[in-house]
Amino acid sequence: MADSREDASRTSVTLASPGQQLDEFENPGLPPHRPRLADRDPRAEKRAERQVALLFTISVIGTLLFFVGYFFIPLNDTIARLRLQNLTLGLGTAFAMLGIGVGIVHWAKTLMPDHEVTESRHEIRPENDRQDAEKIVNDILDESGIKRRPLIRNTLLGAVVLAPLPAIAIFRDLGPLPGNVLKETMWDAGVRLTRDPSGTPIRASDVTRGSAFHVIPEGLNEVENKLEEKAKAVVLLMRLDPSELNPSPGRENWGYDGIVAYSKICTHVGCPVALYEQHTHHLLCPCHQSTFDLEQECKVIFGPAARPLPQLPIEVDDEGYLVASSDFQEPVGPSFWERG
Amino acid sequence: MKALSQRRRHPLAAVALLLMALLVTGGIYAVASSANEAKAQAVTFTANDVEEGGKLFAANCASCHGMGATGSDAAPSLVGAGAASVDFQVGSGRMPMQMDGPQAQVKPVQFTDEQVGQMAAYVASLGAGPAIPTDEMVDASEGDPAHGGELFRVNCAMCHNAAAAGGALTRGKYAPAIDGTSERHIYEAMVTGPQNMPVFSDANITPEDKQDIIAFLKTIESQGSPGGAALGSLGPVSEGLFIWVAGLGVIIAFTVWLTSRSS
């Protein structure tokens, strides 16, 4: 160690500065070694030792605390008991980890040797390195005998070419391609609008001005892949003064006496847009604040959404219940590659 | 029975049958559609209440809502608003409005319970509207909190937050936090749709379902957060702020300690 330090101090460094001759200056070397309190004072050393031991003991206690919480706090019906157990498990694990970590760092900083060490850089010899590498590759080729044994070479090539094929089969299992799934929902002509979550049908007379109904298609609660269907089919039903709606040509009969139904899936990234303000007739998406104006067929008036919310055409059946006149006329939710 | 079967070919049989069918259909419709009609006053008012309420209204509310509560440019008509609406708006301190703004703010209640009742009686006398619910209707101990939670998450949580801690709406409006709101005011907010809140009439959420929702809200209010410090239950905003400030602070403190020299 002493030798290397002398080496370092003897080496001189040259620096080139623009417009000047190469200049030499002395290596300033390392700052003087300053002994720590624990190096000088045996009592400080003892104290540091006790501190490290205490930190490790805290870790032991933390682990014990974890097991006390795990085995001796039985859960019952109350939330208070669960909170107590969570607290003990969390605090126990935290102290178990922290005690070891802080203890080791404290040990290294106060008691382990802290002499500065200088190691000189090896000389770099690119030519030799390249020769070494070539020699290794040639040795491998010679020893494996791949040049002399074409049978092995050819079978190896075949194996390497075939080996990636299972990946194709595996990726194929991610399919099948969605097909029309993204473009169709459970809504169809004559499907009744029902309340979420009870699934009871809604009469047009139930929907008073200013009210908002959260709607699922009839029969949704019985289908097999309920959540997947629900994620596409949820609808918000609202009633306005018919004079406040401004339907574009061809969409005049998509509502019923001021009652309109719009998809609840945001056209930005698919959050449920259901924050309805009954006086401004704005629909707000809670994720990125896209705002849709019900008076303009849910046109985007603020935020990152690119398209208006799709409207579900509705009418009233013979018994006075609200039914869909067809599926949505465009895909619901965010954009996707094949949407066109 | 024989006589009835003999008369079934009588010329007037078809007319009688049609009449009966109409009566039955009309009767069923009357019963079925009654859900939307204003309920009979759950809390009864006297003629004196209406008169006193009219005086209070003229003195405190008419400057915006107009004499006779027919509304003006500044405020809507209260005809048909119902007693529940007055009890909520005035009883929670939102009305009279402190200042013009996107939304009426809660402030200390300006009237006694009796005066609120008198104004409610006056507004109820102007036109049928939602009535103030009785104490039994809003008794949280009678509701099913689990079912109420399901309804809350479908109908209310998107604005009021899953933990009922409230949330922002557009252009300065917001859905308030619900904790601390009385059972009666929660019920009245649902039937009347104050400010920009949609109306959840009895045809949408039945009175029993409303009681379940109140039971859920009172349950989460009394049980507290099962995850420890709720940080306002505001989700990633307050939790993120906490972990960025406190968590990164701790990490910085550790790195400073790790690289410092022992004395």
| Phi, psi (deg, nearest 5) at residue B67 | -65, 135
Half-sphere exposure of B1 toward its Cβ, with a 13 Å CA cutoff?
A: 0
Handedness of CA B22, B25, B29, B31 (dihedral sign): positive
* Amino acid, res. B129: G
Of A131, A146, A172, the domain-final residue:
A172
Confidence of residue A31 (pLDDT cuts 50, 70, 90): confident
Distance separating alpha carbons of residues A232 and A333, to the nearest angstrom: 7
Contact A83 B228 (CB under 8 A): yes
Residue for token digits 């949505």? A328
Distance separating alpha carbons of residues A191 and A212, to the nearest angstrom: 19
Q: What is the pLDDT of residue A7?
A: 46
Q: What is the pLDDT of residue A291?
A: 95
Q: What is the pLDDT of residue B2?
A: 54
> pLDDT above 70 covers what percent of chain A?
93
* CATH of B133-225 among 3.40.50.300, 3.40.50.970, 1.10.645.10, 1.10.760.10: 1.10.760.10
Residue B226 neighbours by CB under 8 Å, 6+ apart: A79, A82, A83
Q: What is the pLDDT of residue B231?
A: 86
B223 to chain A: nearest residue by CA? A79
Domain ranges of chain B: 44-132, 133-225
Q: Each residue of A188-221: pLDDT tens digit?
A: 999 999 998 899 999 999 998 888 999 999 999 9
Q: Which of A36, A196, A272 sits opposite B262 (nearest CB)?
A: A36
Are A319 and A299 in a shared domain? yes
- A211, A219 contact by CB (below 8 A): no
Task: Between B205 and A31, name the one with better pLDDT.
Answer: B205
Residues of A whose CB is below 8 A from B203: 203, 205-208
Contact B199 A197 (CB under 8 A): no
Please state whether the peptide bond connecting residue A247 to the residue before it is cis, i.e. omega within 30 degrees of 0.
no
CATH 3.40.50.740 fits B44-132, yes or no: no
Ordered per-residue pLDDT tens for chain B, 263 residues: 456 666 667 777 777 777 887 887 777 666 555 544 444 445 678 888 899 999 999 998 998 998 888 888 888 899 988 999 999 999 999 988 888 888 888 889 999 999 999 999 999 999 888 999 998 889 988 999 999 999 999 999 989 988 899 988 988 899 999 988 999 999 999 999 998 899 999 999 999 999 999 999 999 888 877 777 888 888 888 899 999 999 999 999 999 999 988 87
Q: Which of A105, A238, A277 sits opposite B196 (nearest CB)?
A: A277
Distance separating alpha carbons of residues B99 and B85, to the nearest angstrom: 19
Contact B227 A291 (CB under 8 A): no
- Kindly state whether A278 is in contact with chain B, defined as any CB-CB distance less than 8 angstroms: yes
Are A22 and A55 in a shared domain? no
Domain interval for residue A296: 181-339
Closest CA to B188 of B120, B119, B86: B86
From the candidates B39, B204, B216, B251, which should be mutated to test the interface with A, based on the most A CB atoms within 10 A? B204
Domains B44-132 and B133-225 share a fold: yes
Question: Of the ranges A27-31, A33-37, B183-187, which one carries the lowest mean pLDDT score?
Answer: A27-31
Q: What is the mean pLDDT of chain A?
A: 87
Are A210 and A144 in a shared domain? no
Are A324 and A189 in a shared domain? yes
Q: What is the pLDDT of residue A38?
A: 87
Q: What is the pLDDT of residue B83?
A: 92
Q: What is the pLDDT of residue B39?
A: 47
* Residue B168 three-state SS: strand
Residues of A whose CB is below 8 A from B32: 203
Are A12 and A49 in a shared domain? no
Distance separating alpha carbons of residues A211 and A240, to the nearest angstrom: 9
CA dihedral defined by B59, B52, B183, B44, rounded to 10 degrees? -150
Contact B36 A280 (CB under 8 A): no
Whole-model pTM above 0.80?
A: no
Q: Which of A82, A83, A205 sits opposite B36 (nearest CB)?
A: A205
Are A263 and A131 in a shared domain? no
Q: Which of A87, A238, A284 sits opposite B170 (nearest CB)?
A: A284
- A191, A323 contact by CB (below 8 A): yes
Q: What is the pLDDT of residue B33?
A: 55
Closest CA to A236 of B203, B197, B154, B5: B154
Contact B198 A79 (CB under 8 A): no
Residues of A whose CB is below 8 A from B258: 105
Q: What is the pLDDT of residue A146?
A: 82
Number of domains in chain A: 3
Q: What is the pLDDT of residue A1?
A: 38
CATH code: domain of residue A311: 2.102.10.10
Please state whether the peptide bond connecting residue A197 to the residue before it is cis, i.e. omega within 30 degrees of 0.
yes
Q: Which of A208, A214, A277 sits opposite B169 (nearest CB)?
A: A277
Please state whether the peptide bond connecting residue A249 to the residue before it is cis, i.e. omega within 30 degrees of 0.
no
Residue B204: both structure tokens together: 């949408």
Distance separating alpha carbons of residues B110 and B125, to the nearest angstrom: 22
